[in-house]
Amino acid sequence: MQFDNNVLIAERDNAYYREGGNHSRGGKTGPWGLGNPAITWNGYTPAHFRRNVVVVDATAAPSRGAWFEGRPCGADKLPHKPPAGIAKCSGDLGDSFLRANVSANLWFNRTAASTPTPTFPGGCVGVSATACGATHGCSCRSWAQWRATGQGESGLWQVDPQLGSGRLRLVSSPAALALGIEPLTELVRAGADWEIDG
């Protein structure tokens, strides 16, 4: 799976997602916001997540409390004894990224100033990597801990992508462009090339 050069903005939610913000919809509860992440990452297959811009606004979307959530390694789908080739696959969400290349991405929490948190990815206020449980171990790690796992190489944390105010809202931050993120200027030509007469 390759997911490269995209802009993801989590700045909306509604009553349905706020209800599930603490996992309560599935019959279990957990730290507020982990049940409605910006990105749901399941499984254990090789994947690339590179040169993307991810923006979270927890003021406009209060249930957005984490960047990542998911089924650790797709663990609930694995047999009791993992097959050969999956040497490490635990209940820690971090193991889901062992075969992934998550690099050169820009992460920006617009509300970090008003909702400060020492954790990457910006949720888990008052929750440690161990206290939040094995299934959320990755979500509540700090940015330094995330980088120590080998992920986030050359990524930028808390850098404003400077999305333009025009219809396309293209990335204009020099730091983002230096990562190799390419503004999709081609979208100017998207859509019909005719106009309704009168």
How confident is the model at residue 127, as a pLDDT? Answer: 54
Q: Give pLDDT tens digits for 22-50.
A: 766 666 666 666 677 888 887 777 889 99
Of 177 and 33, the one with more pLDDT: 177
How confident is the model at residue 131, as a pLDDT? Answer: 47
Please, which pLDDT band fits residue 150 given cuts at 50, 70 and 90? Answer: confident
How confident is the model at residue 29, as a pLDDT? Answer: 65
Of 59 and 101, the one with more pLDDT: 101
Which H or E run contains 56? Answer: strand 53-56
Which H or E run contains 176? Answer: helix 174-178
How confident is the model at residue 182, as a pLDDT? Answer: 85
Distance (Å, rounded) from C-alpha 188 to C-alpha 61?
29
Distance (Å, rounded) from C-alpha 43 to C-alpha 14?
27
